[in-house]
Amino acid sequence: MQDCIFCKIVSGQIPARIVRQNEKAVAFLDAFPLAAGHALVVPKAHYQKVQDMTPADAQAVFQLVHKMVGRVESATGAAASTIAVHNGKEAGQEVPHVHVHIIPRKQGDGAGPVHSMFKNRPKPSAQEMDALAEKMH
């Protein structure tokens, strides 16, 4: 896609600190990191949402995520990391190209668990939970 910043990084039109890649995905340092060492993994092909990816591209992205997590933690001295995907604008996706955040985490970094993001949580009944689970089969 012509105006996509991640497509421009993949094609070399925009410089990035690329740290690793495979045939279908690339990992690079986030230009606006939430923590030192914050990396992104993106498919080389343009997809807006995870479910839009081909199985081969999805596999390549998550294989690269798998390889990068330990490298990010080791390079930053972090004992843990948050791995996040914002899948669509309403979920907080700022660049409409699938990207997986790998954010190294340390004690006292000021960030919390994913549950801390949601202030207005639903309280579904057991029946509502069962109905949702059935719809997802």
Tokens of 18: 């690329």
Count H helices, E strands: the chain? 3, 5
Tokens of 28: 């690079």
Tokens of 21: 């890649």
* Total count of domains within the chain: 1
Predicted pLDDT at 21: 97
Q: Cite the active site residues.
A: 99
Predicted pLDDT at 117: 85
Domain of 79, CATH number, reads 3.30.428.10
Residue 128: partners with Cβ closer than 8 Å, 6 or more residues away:
none
Taking the CB of residue 44, how many other CB atoms lie within 10 A of it?
Answer: 18
Predicted pLDDT at 95: 97
Predicted pLDDT at 115: 87
Entry pTM: 0.93
The residue range of the domain holding 81 is 5-136
Q: What is the pLDDT along the chain (137 residues), one digit of tens a residue?
A: 779 999 999 999 999 999 999 999 999 999 999 999 999 999 999 999 999 999 999 999 999 999 999 999 999 999 999 999 999 999 999 999 999 999 999 999 999 888 888 889 999 999 999 999 999 99
Predicted pLDDT at 20: 98
Q: Is 92 left (phi over 0), alpha (psi -120 to 50) or beta?
A: left
Predicted pLDDT at 114: 87
